[in-house]
Structure 1
Amino acid sequence: MTRFIALGFLALPLIEIALFIVVGRAIGLFPTLALVILAAIAGALLLRQQGLGVLARLRNSVGEGTVPGRTMFDAMLIGAAAVFLVLPGFLSDIVALSLLVPAVRGWIFAALASRVRVVETTTTYRRHAGPDDPLLPGQGNIDLDENDWRGGR
């Protein structure tokens, strides 16, 4: 798996350069540059819109006390789309813009959710306060006056 990821990182710039050459020959230099710039602008606008929407859904999920699993997944894919938008090129723009479409994110979530196994673990820590414990009420506590405390300095 790591070989495929490393190979993908090596192949991506070569594919992007090849696509620049192909598109540049087909429509010319300035239209090619205009397409890259327009794709970045459109992607930034979509990223802002989708990102704010995900933040609102995340806030609602946390407020309702539900687990925001799907919302967190959407946020992760939107973050990945932002990384792809930073990379210049047509292939990365296509991947980024497709990750910003909610239906595509839903399809990816459904494809990956069937392979995920959720495991819940809890940890309990208990401490017995003995007679020599310095944290017993009234013992070992230091009360500071308002003038004795300096916030973070």
Structure 2
Amino acid sequence: MKLLVFAIIALGLPALELAGIYQIWQIIGAWTLAWLALAILAGLVVLRIERAELLPRLMYSAFEGRTPLAVLWESGRRILAGVLLIVPGAISDVVALVLLIWPSPPRPRGPRAANDDFIEGEFRRED
């Protein structure tokens, strides 16, 4: 049963993408080729930028003492969006744009203590 569902999705999505491209071709004509080429170029740019920024962002989050999972989640979302932009079709492009404009959780600003368990101060013993 799972194999049948996977087969339907694996064959149905490309068929939907081709039908979408055909419908768009009927509306805007040869500009469809320009749209597909620009989408592929945008996907390559997204992947190149993400490849260059992933390691510095991971190091910065470790330096701040935060968990790198949020950085990995955002990076994975952008990588998936880049791959979906490379795949030709309107459905994959819309999903990629949603992944790219999805808001990221706000990051805390300002300096943070290295360890919040300690309070700095002076100690003096009085007998």
TM over 0.5: yes
TM-score by length of 1: 0.56
Question: What residue is the counterpart of 2:38 in the other structure?
Answer: 38
Other structure's SS at 1:100 match: helix
Aligned match of 1:144: none
Q: Give the aligned length.
A: 104
Which residue number in structure 2 is paired with residue 75 of structure 1?
A: 75
Distance 1:47 1:55 in 2: 14
In the alignment, which residue of structure 1 is the partner of 2:113?
none
Greater CA deviation, 44-53 or 76-85? 44-53
Deviation, structure 1 residue 52: 4.1
Does structure 1 conserve the Cα–Cα contact (< 8 Å) formed by 2:58 and 2:71? Answer: yes
Return the letter of the residue paired with 1:9: A
Alpha carbons of structure 1 residues 92 and 9: separation in structure 2 relative to 1, 3 Å: same
Could you tell me which residue of structure 2 aligns to residue 17 of structure 1? 18
1:27 paired residue number: 28
Contact 1:43–1:97 (CA under 8 A) maintained in structure 2: no
Taking structure 2 as the reference length, the TM-score comes to 0.65
Query: Residue 16 of structure 1 aligns to which amino acid in structure 2?
Result: E
- Shift of the 73–24 alpha-carbon distance from structure 1 to 2, 3 Å rule, reads same
* Aligned position for 2:9: 8
Between 1 and 2, higher relative CO (CA 8 Å, sep ≥ 6) is seen in 2
- The residue that corresponds to 1:136 in the other structure is none
Paired residues of 1:47 and 1:78 also in contact (CA < 8 A): yes
CA deviation string 1:117-146 (max 9, x = no partner): xxxxxxxxxxxxxxxxxxxxxxxxxxxxxx
Deviations 1:90-120 (A, max 9, x none): 21122123222251x65xxxxxxxxxxxxxx
- Mind listing any 5+ residue stretches in structure 2 that lack a counterpart? 106-127
- Computed over aligned residues only, the root mean square deviation of the Cα atoms, in angstroms, reads 2.6
Mapped contact 1:54–1:75 kept (Cα < 8 A): yes
When Rg is computed on C-alpha atoms for both structures, the one with the higher figure is: 1
The equivalent residue for 2:120 is none
Q: Identical aligned pairs, as a percentage?
A: 35
Match of 2:88 in 1: 88
| Paired residues of 1:20 and 1:90 also in contact (CA < 8 A) | yes
- 2:58 matched to 1:63? no
Q: How far did 1:8 drift?
A: 2.6
Output the amino acid matched with 2:26: R
